[in-house]
Amino acid sequence: MARGSGSTVVGISAFYHDAAVAIVSGGIVRFAASEERFSRVKHHPDFPARALAAGLHHCGLSGDDVDAVVFYDKPLLTFERVLDTWLDHAPQGFGFFAASAPEWLGGKLLHKPRIRRALRAVDPALTAPLLFSDHHRSHAASAYFPSPFADAAVLTLDGVGEWATASIQHGRGDALIPLRELRFPHSLGLLYAAFTAHCGFRVNGGEYKLMGLAPYGTPRFADLILHEMMDLREDGSFQLDLSWFDWCRSAHRMTTDRFSRRVGPARAPGEPLRDHHRDLAASIQLVTEEIVLRMAREAHRLTGSSHLCLAGGVALNGVANGRVLREGPFQRLWIQPAAGDAGGALGAALIGAYHLGDPRTVCEPDAMETARLGPDLTTADATAVLDAHGVSYTVCEEPDLVAWAADRLASGRTLGWCQGRMEFGPRALGNRSILADPRDPAVRDRLNAQVKHRESFRPFAPVVPEELAADWFELDQPSPTMGLVVRARRPDRIPAAVHVDGTARVQTVSRDQHPRLHALLHACGERTGVPVLINTSFNVAGEPIVCTAADAWRCFAGTDLDDLVLDRCCVSQDPRS
């Protein structure tokens, strides 16, 4: 049994994409991390053995300390959907069934013994009861339970769980009350994914690229989507005309020939972007915002709550979230930073903890350390790696470290910044970040081309002290996990951190949450008059965000970054070994 008061519960997300682990003890979130950070395989789908081992080590636990393991969805219900979909679309859907059946019959239907074997491989003593949660309930729990609200509407939207593709629930105290559900094949997540694939980006990984492309286009296909591809109702529910889409019949494509004839040919990955691809991105983004806004209004009507919590992959669409904040009926939003399937592990663990009688913690800004829940990085870790590579470095105390970094940033240099515990979710929040001065638009182009090695249209996010955020952005609530895209008040002062449409996905930082980054922002403000920095994830295209000091050094050494701060170790570009 778990040491100390309360139970210890492990949540698991695996076998689809973005496998992850979360550990909750006594109702408190102790650890959460995605397997990709340890395997270095982006969107790692298999059992998160490395993340689980890291979590147990970080928490000082062994297998016999764990009281329950909770898996984030119910595979048998998902297989029921696969069978029903094939039967509904037989014989055309046989190809889809034939492609997916071996995977199901070869292992997915045997999740329980498969998970038990994987748990024991990490620790032979890890034999706690294995429970299963509904997919969208896991999402909803990850959104509501760590939020700072005792009462909230909870909206979850993704591709598909077992059957659900969207749900509205009411969080009250330590309970989640289901209210409404949209079911497969009618799915906003799959609809957005279809446009993502048609525009040549990877499904379950490239949707954020489509969102970044949208401001470059004109939404001339929006009426086609709204009036021919779907029947959208006032409450946000909808039915899709499946003659445009192929996810019920094919394992290899998401749209039909009818789709291509009307909107133009699909783009192969790596091909040049055409105007119709930009217009498709703008169109599906506008439709997505309209659907999310209508669903949010319906959630408010059903619950009467002044607060809204969001999760599911669609909740990573910060543009839609920003519109809900501006135009919706809610006073405050809280968005799960690991809103996709990885966050389901956290929701599953919290469901298990409260099922076992642990109390819920309600606190500001949230009950998950603003997503800093991964492994720690210490000065000893940093010096061991740098010494092993023969790197020249200086160990600085706090004031000198901040001054060293601020001087370099103010002079236009780019900085790898690796501190403390790794963030949970797809966004770096100041612990595994690349930082830069936002005043020169050439910095944006240099970061995209020479450091990140990614598409030129991709924007960068700004980070700003929480107490100064309203001076620089149209934002009246904290945004510590980059969940909201809002308009910049002075885009001419920070052109490298503002998108082409004058908006930005803002991160606010308080002194209590992140004192070193907060001090650095103020120090930069003293030097430049702009207390804002570009904050982008510490990685290159196609790779996960760095986890360890060794990962950070490899990434730094393989890019054109100018400087590096590993905990308190300061490294300049030259000399490198």
* Nearest residue to 495 (alpha-carbon basis) of 460, 449, 531: 460
Is 43 a known active-site residue?
no
- Pairing of the two strands 503-505 and 485-487: antiparallel
Distance (Å, whole) CA 447 – CA 226: 37
- Please compute Rg for the chain using Cα positions: 23
CB atoms within 10 A of CB 485: 24
**Cβ atoms 429, 371 nearer than 8 A:** yes
Spot the catalytic one: 17, 139, 170, 307: 17
Residue 467's Cβ-count burial label (10 Å; 0-12, 13-18, 19+) is middle
CB atoms within 10 A of CB 282: 21
Sheet holding 8-13, edge to edge: 28-34, 20-25, 8-13, 68-71, 130-132
**Packed helices 75-88 and 94-106: angle between N→C axes, nearest 10 degrees:** 160
Transcribe 492-552 into DSSP letters.
TTSGGGS-TTSEEE-EEE-TTT-HHHHHHHHHHHHHHS---EEEEESS-TTSPPP-SHHHH
Distance (Å, whole) CA 444 – CA 23: 37
Residues 6 or more apart whose CB falls under 8 angstroms from that of 196 comprise 202, 203, 206, 207, 209, 210
Distance (Å, whole) CA 357 – CA 477: 33
Q: Give the type of residue at 455.
A: E
* Nearest residue to 18 (alpha-carbon basis) of 312, 432, 442, 371: 312
Beta bridge partners of 423: 372
In Å, what is the CA distance from 92 to each residue of 250, 383, 413?
A: 9, 60, 57
Helix or strand holding residue 416 (H, E)? strand 415-418
Distance (Å, whole) CA 214 – CA 221: 12
Transcribe 150-206 into DSSP letters.
SEEEEEEE-S-SSSEEEEEEEEETTEEEEEEEEETT--HHHHHHHHHHHTT--TTTS
Distance (Å, whole) CA 132 – CA 142: 15
Where do the H-state alpha helices sit in 271-367? 275-303, 318-327, 341-355
Distance (Å, whole) CA 274 – CA 99: 32
- Residues designated catalytic: 17
